[in-house]
Amino acid sequence: MKAKRITIAALTLLPLIVGLIALSFLPDEIPAHYGINLTVDRFGSKYESLITPFIALFFGIIFVIASLVPKKEQTKKLSLNIGLAFMLTFNAFDFCILYIQANNVVALDESPLRFDSVSMLIIGCLLIFLGNIMPMSRRNAFFGLRTPWSLKNDNVWKKSQIFGGASMIIVGLICAALAFVYPNLFVMLGLVVLTAVIDTVYTYIIAKNNG
């Protein structure tokens, strides 16, 4: 666990270190915001490139603290695994954003590094990873398919996590596959929302049947 905690700490600091070094190479103005059509609609100071690294720093600290607080070893391992997955995700997105800013990409869908494709692939892999560990989690305060019904008892919780984990893996695989053939962030968002609704309804049904 110590090695994972050190890895999370390193991944927490890496975006900030890279970002500070990159300031010397970035133009004074960089793409700062993109509209719904994936075209830049606002330029900003190059120092705005540090926003993502500071967000990563904030969440990295939270994940490290979360892995130290629980008394149960299984909960500590779960916190570390989730933290490691999310920090890898943050670093991947930070690399993509830095590439876009450094190359002054005006239209995301015309960039050699397609942001929508990379985003769907990264999110897909994250969902697959989280879906695999979800069935192993016990009732807790921060992770899993948590609804008022899934928290009813251990039996309902276990069934909910198995179902939620399976649905998350399926959506992750679909997103990862679509990243290569039909990259569309709105499709990905729609799949995630639809899955969340289905999972929530499932927890309600299971809770009623186990009441």
**Are 56 and 134 found together in one domain?**
no
**Are 132 and 49 found together in one domain?**
no
| pLDDT score of 113 more than 80 | no
CA separation (Å) from 132 to 101, 153, 164, 165, 206?
34, 21, 10, 6, 21
Domain's final residue, options 111, 139, 154 = 111
Whose CA is closest to 106, among 206, 33, 23?
33
Domain residue limits at 58: 1-111
Q: pTM of the full predicted structure?
A: 0.81
Residue-wise pLDDT for 20-74, tens only, equals 999 988 888 988 888 877 788 888 899 999 998 999 899 888 888 877 775 667 7
Contact in structure between 84 and 9 (CB atoms under 8 Å) = no
| pLDDT score of 197 more than 80 | yes
**Are 77 and 91 found together in one domain?**
yes
Predicted pLDDT of residue 171: 96
Residue-wise pLDDT for 124-154, tens only, equals 999 999 999 998 888 876 788 899 899 888 8
Whose CA is closest to 1, among 87, 88, 78, 89?
78
- What's the pLDDT band for 13 if we cut at 50, 70, 90? very high
In the chain, the percentage of residues whose pLDDT exceeds 70 is 96
Q: How many C-beta atoms surround the C-beta of residue 19 within 10 A?
A: 23
Domain's final residue, options 54, 79, 111 = 111
Domain's final residue, options 71, 95, 111 = 111
